[in-house]
Amino acid sequence: MVQASVQQAGQVKARDAAIGISIALAGSGGSGVMTAGTLLLDAAAKAGLYGLMVRTSGPQIRGGEAAALVRLARVPIDSLDDGFDLLLAIDWQNVNRFADEIPLTAASLMIGDPDEGEPPEVFKASGARYVALPFKKTAKAIAGSWTNMVALGVAGSLAGIPAAALEAALSDSWKRGDEALQANLAALRAGIESAAGIDGMPKLAAGAAAAAKRWQISGNEAAGYGAIRGGIRFVAAYPITPATELLEWMAPALVKVGGTLLQAEDELASVNMAIGASYGGVPSLTATAGPGLALMAEGIGLAVTAEVPIVVVDVMRGGPSTGIPAKSEQSDLSFAVSGLHGDAPRLVVAPTSIADCIAATQWAVHLAEALQSPVIVLSDQFMGQSRAIIDRPDDAGYVAARLTAAADTPDYKRYRNTGSGVSPMAIPGTKGVVYTADGLEHTEAGIPSSQSRDHATQLDKRERKLAQHDYGRYWADIEGEGDAAVITFGSTTAAVREAVARARALGVDVRLIALRLLAPAQPAALAAALEAVARVLVVEQNHGGQLYRYLRSMYDLPGKPASFHRPGPLPLRPGELTTAIVEWAGTGPLGGISV
């Protein structure tokens, strides 16, 4: 770890520790902005800071415009800010398409290469100050160096990251020859030097030296890691954006821990492969996005009826249909909580941050196994494909523990109607307790039955086992005081949390409730969380107000519940949420935004 040095520059505007600074690195394919962004994040971590890097790109497979949206702060950070302090473009080809994703103000700074033309009008219109720096010429002057390293030097220096941290980040990640490394270190230093004359950027004071080691991780990796921690040893995979990286991360990781990832021919196969493997006693998972989840619906229903534990991670993207594959949206919620045919109780769990992708997925594995039920984990593209610096998380301790049948259990019945609803599951290979798992409605012994009494018994059993389970305090994050509460879930939690803090600074106290367990509904637990709350505002990132509608159908909410929802791909920003919360808390029902 490189110890951060005190900033040298005299007229540095120190930025609020929690707000941090926001930098967008943009350019066309080949410009290496994603690599530069990742190194900036690494360097920040080495300087004791936290950070988040969100990726955005055009539809092209290669060569398309791309931007790394980086936010650095002295506290853990999981959301993007309202705007950007710096937009650094290696070139401007189609970068205008990101205008909505990279909001600038008159206080912002734009840096571009004059040889690549002027910044697009849409950015200029913000009033942001423009500084021209010849990145390409600078890199060209240093044989064997890359333009993006010059850019990294400029951005890192402007953010206040010590040169030593930037150099260490580059050296540590370098996988090529030493000669090229030296050239790029030189390019990095050239970038740092060329930034020296640029003022007006807020700077971050160096972070406190981390007491413990920190991680740099994406939500997809975090979910994969949490799954393995929970006990997943079989994964069936069909590639789909933005879940593919989760599966790709798990492929070698599973082999190391004695498991297997199997590539399926389609999502119909992957969910059924996971069910088959889990029927064999091995905790199993598959991951997908909305279109794949839709295809898996029948299989998830089989897991409900046959009582086979599986975890399905849905990394949500813009829908419906193919929608917006590489952009985020929280619009699979309705499908996840109710999108199966028949009366099919299932569990739906949503991590509330990148770091929480670990524990929440681990919890999902635990719940699936304990309750012999499918669990859908609702992650999303924003969390899944973004990288964050996080404190090393403690092991949440959730492990797979399935109630199994002992060999030769007398009068064994697989679907025995037990008090808890959970019945011992015989694992193939166990003598004297053979049974046939069935998606047909069945008797307690597992024999197909169309009789009303068997149907009623098994429907009750499957519902009861989920309803009676004690989910503990982890079911939701409940923070703050106040007689008004904001309810949200998933990746918008961070933006809402930030908005609640800003509202508090403005004198408006609002409670935050981020639901981690979305299904089954927890009326008693939510009632306790809403004690003394007079009204609620539901915040989510979709067009239909899906959480709002779900909550209103499943819970008795106090007062006249209000809704703030907007579809993806633009993230909900803390500033707009602060305004909404303050207005709503101050003036009653949210005007114009209610569904």
Q: Does 268 bind other proteins (CB under 8 A)?
A: yes
Q: Which residue has the tokens 């299932």?
A: 346
Cβ atoms of 74 and 50 closer than 8 Å: yes
Q: Does 47 bind other proteins (CB under 8 A)?
A: no
Q: Does 177 bind other proteins (CB under 8 A)?
A: no
Min CB(266)–other proteins separation in Å = 6
Q: Which two tokens stand for residue 458?
A: 């098994």
- Rounded distance between C-alpha atoms, residue 398 and residue 87, angstroms: 42
- Rounded distance between C-alpha atoms, residue 359 and residue 394, angstroms: 9
Q: Does 175 bind other proteins (CB under 8 A)?
A: no
Min CB(183)–other proteins separation in Å = 25
- Checking DSSP bridges between strand 50-57 and strand 387-391, what pairing results, if any? antiparallel
Q: Does 564 bind other proteins (CB under 8 A)?
A: no
Min CB(264)–other proteins separation in Å = 7
Residue 418 buriedness (CB in 10 A; 0-12 / 13-18 / 19+): middle
Beta bridge mates, 121? none
Residue 359: left if φ>0, alpha if ψ -120 to 50, beta else—which one? Answer: alpha
Q: Does 180 bind other proteins (CB under 8 A)?
A: no
Site for other proteins in 340-369 (CB under 8 A): none
Q: Which is nearer to other proteins, 142 or 303 (CB)?
A: 303
Residue 479 buriedness (CB in 10 A; 0-12 / 13-18 / 19+): middle
Q: Which is nearer to other proteins, 118 or 172 (CB)?
A: 172
- Checking DSSP bridges between strand 202-203 and strand 214-218, what pairing results, if any? unpaired
Q: Does 254 bind other proteins (CB under 8 A)?
A: yes
Site for other proteins in 113-172 (CB under 8 A): none
Which one of residues 84, 92, 234, 415 is an interface residue with other proteins (CB under 8 A)?
234
Q: Which is nearer to other proteins, 43 or 533 (CB)?
A: 43
Peptide bond into 520 cis (omega under 30): yes
Site for other proteins in 377-406 (CB under 8 A): 389, 392, 395
Which one of residues 436, 451, 468, 553 is an interface residue with other proteins (CB under 8 A)?
436
Q: Does 530 bind other proteins (CB under 8 A)?
A: no
- Rounded distance between C-alpha atoms, residue 200 and residue 350, angstroms: 40
Cβ atoms of 222 and 382 closer than 8 Å: no
Cβ atoms of 68 and 55 closer than 8 Å: yes
Q: Does 459 bind other proteins (CB under 8 A)?
A: no
Cβ atoms of 462 and 420 closer than 8 Å: no
Q: Does 479 bind other proteins (CB under 8 A)?
A: no
Residues 279-298, mask of contacts with other proteins (x by CB under 8 A): xxxx-x-------------x
- Rounded distance between C-alpha atoms, residue 581 and residue 567, angstroms: 18
Q: Which is nearer to other proteins, 56 or 362 (CB)?
A: 362
DSSP designation for 231: T
Which one of residues 80, 152, 204, 217 is an interface residue with other proteins (CB under 8 A)?
217
Instruction: Find the part of the chain contacting other proteins (CB under 8 A) among 5-13, 301-309, 322-330, 562-570.
Output: 301-309
Point out which residues bind other proteins (CB under 8 A): 1, 42, 45-46, 213-217, 221, 225, 228-229, 233-234, 236, 253-260, 262, 264-266, 268-270, 272-282, 284, 298-299, 301-302, 306, 389, 392, 395, 426, 428-440, 446-448
